[in-house]
Amino acid sequence: MLAMKPLLVICIVIIPILRVGCAAQVSNEAGSDCGSSPRVVGAFGAMDKPVPAVSISEAVKNQLSDLKVVRAVRRTDLAPSGEQIVMYDTSTDEFAPKQRIAVISDGKVISNFEVTRLVAYGEQAIYQTSCEFEVRTGQKGFVVAYLLSGDGTGSAFILLTHTARDYRVVFARIVGQGRLVFKVGTFDLWERTFDKRRQNAELDNFECEWCDHRYRISKYSWNNGSYVKVASTRTKNTYEPAAITGTPVIIGSPEAVAK
């Protein structure tokens, strides 16, 4: 399942809880990632809590009237003059934080993206991590990775960049237990697949949500201002979804995908 209704409180008490994501800025050198955290999977799935809150200036806070909790602030260089990007919750509901992404330039909010309008089940998106990548030589992009509340199998990715006119979303997708791997001009989207013969719980080779899965890898290439899907393959090997989603974004290192 990509999403499910919030579990009862008693379930939350008996399952190990893991904070995911990384509050600190991380390096984007070749082969780096945007932060990783092993996920603890219990009987009801991976129960992930939001990353710790961070602070922003009062001047910016006053411009975000719907702000409840700031999850991350990143200093980026999508535009020549640079900017700050703020990921924040607009709700105090742990299972439906209703995330937004605000772009700040010269102390002013100039763009604000509502995650619920970009991906299905967006109200359930829990911020995981974010970082810059190269859309193409000379052009930067910014990726934000989310997990979905519920059983934690949903992964959502949103990609931003700056054009001559404004900031815009160039890719937004929700997949099952996913990962993005970036190289200059391209990225690979990993999403788990099920073997149709293994979805019957009565069979010995039953394939559960958090069992190892084969992955579909879809390659996207930057072409004339947008990302275009150019190829799709399915892995021969299986991979542990907790490990894949624990490192949801990798920059420039094909070897790292097997971790």
Per-residue pLDDT of 198-224, as tens digits, reads 656 566 666 788 888 999 999 999 999
61 has a pLDDT exceeding 70: yes
Q: Where are the domains of the chain?
A: 9-20+30-258
Instruction: Band the pLDDT of 25: cuts 50, 70, 90.
Output: very low
Percent of the chain residues past pLDDT 90, beyond the cut = 66
Compute the mean pLDDT over every residue in the chain, rounded to the nearest whole number: 84
Instruction: Name the maximum alpha-carbon separation found in the chain.
Output: 60
| Structure tokens given for 180 | 């993005």
**What local confidence, expressed as pLDDT, does residue 197 receive?**
58
29 has a pLDDT exceeding 60: no
pTM over 0.75: yes
